[in-house]
Amino acid sequence: MSGTQALVIGGALSAAAALAHLACVFVGVPAYRFMGAGEKMARAAEAGKVQATVVTLAIAGVLFVWAAYAFSGAGVIARLPFTKPALITISAVYLARAASFPLLKPAFPENAQTFWRVSSGICLVIGLMHLYGLIARWSAL
């Protein structure tokens, strides 16, 4: 697999994760519960509290930006400012999130075990795609 392909896959997965977060906003409480966001978030959405929507939209926005940086690094879209440092940071955040779930779990006790395993696995895959693409395309960035 080339670095370009890895970054395109990483970007597509980041965009898919962003869309999954948007699904929570547009589908509502059942999507929050299905995605394992935790009962606290589901209840907040159920009660119509704006906080659940704002947090979810913010996460989706960040994930869309990260997808754009992956696509930029792959050369699929125009070069964005600070592409190399952004991809370093994005890779590090995804990999740190994947590795740190045992430390994060106590802070979010309402999140299901399945949520932690699935989301951490997804973050690991996306982080590795970004990292591989970054290393392979280092001189082109």
Contact criterion met (CB below 8 Å) for 5 and 137: no
pLDDT tens digits, one per residue of 23-65: 999 999 999 988 888 888 889 999 989 999 999 999 999 999 9
pLDDT score of 50 = 94
pLDDT tens digits, one per residue of 94-115: 999 999 989 998 988 878 788 8
Proportion of the chain above pLDDT 70, given as a percent: 100
Average pLDDT for 72-91: 98
Domain ranges in the chain?
3-140
Signed CA dihedral, 8, 35, 86, 128: sign only: negative
The pTM assigned to this predicted structure is 0.91
Tokens of 45: 């959405």
Q: How far is CA 93 from each of CA 47, 87, 110, 138, rounded to the nearest angstrom?
A: 31, 10, 23, 18
pLDDT score of 52 = 92
Tokens of 16: 């898919």
CA 20 to CA 7: how far, in whole Å? Answer: 20
Q: What is the mean pLDDT of the chain?
A: 94
